[in-house]
Structure 1
Amino acid sequence: MNVKIIVTYEMPKKAKTVFTSDEMRAGEALLLAEDFNKTGRAKHIEFVDRHDSSWTVKELKGYVQGIQTEPHNVVVYFDGGFDVQTKRAGLGIAIYYNQNGKSYRLRKNAPADELDSNNEAEYAAFYFALQELELLGVHHLPVEFIGDSQVVISQLTGLWPTLERQLNRWADRIEQKLDQLGIQPDYQQVSRKKNAEADQLASQAMRGIDISGTIELIRKE
């Protein structure tokens, strides 16, 4: 979860100033709040999330401690591929997350039938990612979704209308699944180059190459 810190800071001669930080991860916000407290001049500290809900230091600490055993800090890369001539489609996803103090990467792909366009394959890949998040036990958390499809990102964020019936059905399914899981999505469109991992997984699925696995990511000291 990302939050902003609101600090009421009392300076000498009782002059008070209120500072509001940029958005940051909850864990980082707690560390910064502790640093503010060391000055002895922070008279009031609260945190505000993206839904304008207010959290005390105690409440946010409880939240952060509670999610450590569950997947959190989740980032999803997704991509869908479609061959117009053969009508073959492939879905590729890479999910990065933290759990129990460790970092993991899940990579998975799958062929898809009965799709009619590349845009539909992109939507199907997004929904495929949601199904994997459900299996991981991700729920009631913010999740960052990264893809190279301007159509999917723009339509899911509401920037573009979803006029095609097939795509509208996918968008409805995705919104229902997000609501069911309590996931607060954050969308980011990137170039295909920056989405190369998911793109390769989708291409491999179209060629009949099955990829599925999770590895622990070891941090380099």
Structure 2
Amino acid sequence: MKRMLINATQPEERRLAIVDGQKLLDYEIEIEGREQRKGNIYKAVVTRVEPSLEACFVDYGEDRHGFLPFKEIARQYFTPGVSPSQARINEVIKEGQELLVQVEKEERGNKGAALTTFISLAGRYVVLMPNNPRGGGVSRRIEGEDRAELKEAMDQLEYPNGMSIIARTAGIGRSAPELQWDLNYLLKLWNAIDGAAKGGKGAFLIYQESSLVIRAIRDYF
């Protein structure tokens, strides 16, 4: 049985663990006064391309620039006419280029936040990946008959080409209309995010992820 354990004995921080029996599923620390950015979505601007690192640094509106590896850049941002399979980062990405990014890992020490352009939006039952058509499926934690039934319901869902969805464990036992309702909310959210990105220039925050506890409840329960 899954349980959430919260240690808030220290006023300046909260520690949260998700366990299933004796297995640790997740462990995170939220420090009071330090803004949590994991999951946030930003409009960003490339400030430096580093071919030796196969990555670039981007201004996403915070004090320290973020780190964006080449493998985390969607092809929609590549310079047209260059073969993606053979290109180096400096051939397809340019300084001053604007991107939509999501924080994957928080800043640590002297390292800036790790970013990706492959956006994911988590709902109650499904996760929408609006610019990653190859990332869909059913959560690895779902097995047996539950997996087969959920996959059958997922096959009935309607969403635009070029996107993909992942069924979450909370989707077990849910009907196709229930999953579609959750997906429709995420599609509306994505349209709002995409519209905000296209309507503004420079680096700025577009979407702010939920707090640590709310995120854990959504992701695991």
Q: TM-score range, shorter-chain basis?
A: under 0.3
TM-score (norm 2): 0.22
Which one has a larger percent helix, Structure 1 or Structure 2? Answer: 1
> If the length of structure 1 is used for normalisation, what is the TM-score?
0.22
The higher radius of gyration belongs to 1
